[in-house]
Chains A and B, each alone.
Chain A
Amino acid sequence: MPEVLKAPLVLEFPFTRSLGPVQSAFLTGLRERVVLGVRTSDARTLVPPVEYDPVTAEELRDLVEVAPTGTVTTWAWNHAPRRGQPLDTPFAWALVRLDGADTALLHALDAPGPDTVRTGMRVRIRWAEERTGAITDIACFEPYDGAAPRLTGHDGHFDNAVTGIVAPARLDYTYSPGRAQSAYIDALAGHRTVGERCPACRKVYVPPRGACPTCGVATAEQVEVGPRGTVTTFCIVNIKAKNLDIEVPYVYAHIALDGADLALHGRIGGIPYDRVRMGLRVEPVWTEGARYPDHYRPTGEPDAQYETYKELL
């Protein structure tokens, strides 16, 4: 049995987040080195601020300035910072209740080691040199024994407020297609298409998934299908996809390989796009080193009758 394949899969995307009035004021404040909280109906000050009262659900808009100094309420040591975290040397993740606030803010605390950090210790914000209106405008917290500075009493109204941020997200996986698909991919390397037959309904699945989705039983019996097949339906693609180097227009087709019980998808070439039709008989065209056929081209056989493929659209 061929080896089960594995490969890294990294998903990355820069999400564009609209902030709404409260987060807009909070992040714009950070840009101006002002920390804002929001006052609730029971006179508490929440930092970071939220848009809606956690107790009454009423809208909150009364922004008040709090100090850049505060007290650690709890913490955990991070021995091995990962990419994208606030500091690249070991640090404490700390919840800090800023002076004037009733809730704590999560951020990094720069300290020499875990034995120098304790709940109740006094800290202050270390501002980033370049600030854009983001939580990273606070570079981190640092130990601080001095008095709280005087506040300006900012009301949260700024010129040129930040209204949106870009929040990049990244997920790292190790992906494995599993036993059945690994065998299918292995066979493709020899230009053979091998599916699996369901022991209950006898249908041949290409590509195989290792189980029949209709009967819910495992599949193991390998069946070679094709290489020829029938175009069962198709569309003509007139818009260029960003990540594909294919000249438009081209035909994207469902192709039922001979012996398979459902169609797979492929591009049709070797024939003008406007002459492709349902029932056209095709065969794969391979290019050097490719895992999948580059496209399928007409075999020259007479078209298949609709009745023979109408269940395979």
Chain B
Amino acid sequence: MSKEPVAVVGIGQTKHVAARRDVSIAGLVREAARRALADAELTWADIDAVVIGKAPDFFEGVMMPELYLADALGAVGKPMLRVHTAGSVGGSTALVAANLVAARVHGTVLTLAFEKQSESNAMWGLSLPIPFQQPLLAGAGGFFAPHVRAYMRRSGAPDTIGSLVAYKDRRNALKNPCAHLHEHDITLEKVQASPMLWDPIRYSETCPSSDGACAMVLTDRAGAARAPRPPAWMLGGAMRSEPTLFAGKDFVSPRAGRDCAADVYRQAGIADPRRDIDAVEMYVPFSWYEPMWLENLGFAAEGEGWKLTESGVTELDGDLPVNMSGGVLSTNPIGASGMIRFAEAALQVRGQAGEHQVDGARRVLGHAYGGGSQFFSMWLVGSAPPHS
């Protein structure tokens, strides 16, 4: 028996900001869920199950917050489950929800991911002082910066590429009312003049810390037929993982990422992603990850990704727009960040992306990764249902 086609019929986000001091965690997730239901013109009673995701519990200090969020999400009397795969969790949460629909376990599923980073300090949560171990010498940026240098050495990319990505994403964010950073006076010169934190990564090439939630309503063919607005159809979705560190690990282009993308393309019948995919919303917490992921995801040959960035191909009006929403560089409620990527891909193929809409976007990839470049989740959505 073939799988049930999965459609996105509702999308809701909070306005992402540094601190939502006016709401509890329950109030934050509720806001995104209500907006997704409103978009789908559905009520709590129409939802069969809830799948929720967030990054480590240490980020808010509420152990298993999903237990107390059941009331806020109308999940009482329904199955509710929690997904956790570090920074990629927003993507894998959506995929777990999608699989429940594809397997005909449930007809309509509410999926949601969130982080309320103002309640804690993510850097503290990620660098606990383990006895006998050498303290981490440099924080998150220090963890990723050597990999960026390795990419520059391997590809021969000029050192200006990172600032081009940051300048583009921050300008895209100005068109997205939900984005956290709205830097109205951004210029390329300002990005390039920002302090070098972990050389080769500058301050303006890093992501902010945000409070936010993102929700989607996923449904089957019958649900899509009743939807008030055009659905986004899932054409392929996959997850892959690999160890944090192992002999032969390629941090610049992890094998799990390549395999995950290949699986998605196979499911969707994509022969040439550069030709067959109209736009990409990918997880870029440090600007240099745009060219790195362009190669890892098969949009450019090894060592060539930076040329797409440099020549303007990834601009909003380019041939392959990347991070139309402003990306993780403009908004980063960690647990929600993956789902925001997936949701942006769906908004684009539904034609609902407003000022950051890519004209004629018919197939868009959403991508998330997390941990030490070890968890990957991706989906490809389209404006037309899958064949078969």
Interface contact A237-B138, CB-CB below 8 Å: yes
B23, B72, B138, B249: the one contacting A252 at CB < 8 Å is: B138
In the complex, A9 has a CB within 8 A of chain B: yes
Q: Is A64 an interface residue (CB 8 A)?
A: no
CB distance from B252 to the nearest CB of A (A): 7
What is the CA–CA distance of A232 and B99 in the complex, to the nearest angstrom? 41
Decide if A235 touches B199 in the complex (CB within 8 Å): yes
B153 contacts A163, C-beta separation under 8 Å: no
State the Cβ distance, B357 to closest chain A Cβ, in Å: 32
Interchain CB contact under 8 A, A203 and B248: yes
- Which residues from chain A contact B134 at a C-beta distance below 8 Å? 265, 291-292
B118-132 vs A: 1/0 string, CB under 8 Å?
111100110011111
How many chain B residues sit at the interface, stated as a range, is 35 or more
Instruction: Name the residue of chain B whose CB is nearest to the CB of A241.
Output: B139
B276 in the interface, Cβ–Cβ < 8 Å?
A: no
State whether the Cβ of A169 lies closer than 8 Å to any Cβ in chain B: yes
Main secondary structure of the interface of B (DSSP, over half): loop
Is A223 an interface residue when CB atoms closer than 8 A count as contact?
Answer: no
Given known A7-B132, A238-B196, A278-B149, contact A50–B71 (CB-CB < 8 A): yes
Q: How far is the CA of A51 from the CA of B28 in the complex (A)?
A: 12
Chain B residue numbers with a CB within 8 Å of A205 are 247
Complex: A246 Cα to B135 Cα, angstroms: 12
B324 within 8 Å of A (CB atoms): no
Question: Chain A residue with minimal CB distance to B71?
Answer: A52
A23, B24: Cβ atoms closer than 8 Å: yes
A282 within 8 A of B: no
Residues of A within 8 A of B146 (CB): 233-235, 252-254, 313
CB within 8 Å: A-B pair count: 170
Chain A residues lying within 8 Å of B19, measured Cβ to Cβ, are 18
**Chain B positions 308-337 with a Cβ under 8 Å from a chain A Cβ:** none
User: A7 CA to B116 CA in the complex, in Å?
Assistant: 32
Chain A contacts for B131, CB-based, 8 A: 5, 7-9, 175, 177
B72, B125, B141, B200 pick with most chain A CB within 10 angstroms: B72
Which residues of chain B are near A54, meaning CB under 8 Å?
A: 71, 76
A17 with B119: CB separation less than 8 A: yes
Residue A224 CB within 8 A of the other chain: no
Q: Are A214 and B243 in contact (CB under 8 A)?
A: yes
Cβ 8 A contact of A235, one of B24, B73, B201, B252: B201
How many residues of chain A are within 8 Å of chain B by beta carbon? 67
Nearest-neighbour CB distance to chain B for A218, whole angstroms, equals 15
A16 within 8 Å of B (CB atoms):
yes
Bound: A254/B249 CA distance, A: 13
Interfacial chain A residues near B72, Cβ < 8 Å: 51-52, 57
Is there an interface contact between A313 and B251, defined as CB atoms closer than 8 Å? yes
Contact with A214, one of B23, B118, B135, B248 (Cβ below 8 angstroms)? B248
Closest to B211 in A: A18
A20 to chain B, nearest CB (A): 3
Report yes or no: A52 in contact with B130, Cβ–Cβ below 8 A: no
Contact of B120 among A16, A214, A239, A266 (CB under 8 A): A16
Asked whether, in the complex, the Cβ of A51 is within 8 Å of the Cβ of B142, the reply is: no
Q: Check A18/B23 contact, CB under 8 A, given A169-B61, A234-B146, A237-B137.
A: yes
Q: Are B128 and A11 in contact (CB under 8 A)?
A: yes
In the complex, chain B residues whose CB is within 8 Å of the CB of A291: 132, 134
For A273, the closest partner residue in chain B by CB is B199
Shortest 8 CB-CB contacts between residues of A and residues of B: A20-B24, A235-B145, A57-B74, A236-B199, A15-B61, A7-B131, A203-B247, A261-B247
Chain A to chain B contacts (Cβ below 8 Å), 29 pairs? A9-B131, A13-B125, A16-B120, A20-B22, A23-B24, A50-B71, A51-B24, A51-B27, A52-B71, A53-B71, A54-B71, A54-B76, A56-B44, A57-B72, A164-B21, A177-B133, A233-B150, A233-B153, A235-B148, A235-B200, A236-B198, A238-B197, A239-B197, A241-B139, A243-B129, A244-B137, A246-B137, A252-B146, A278-B153
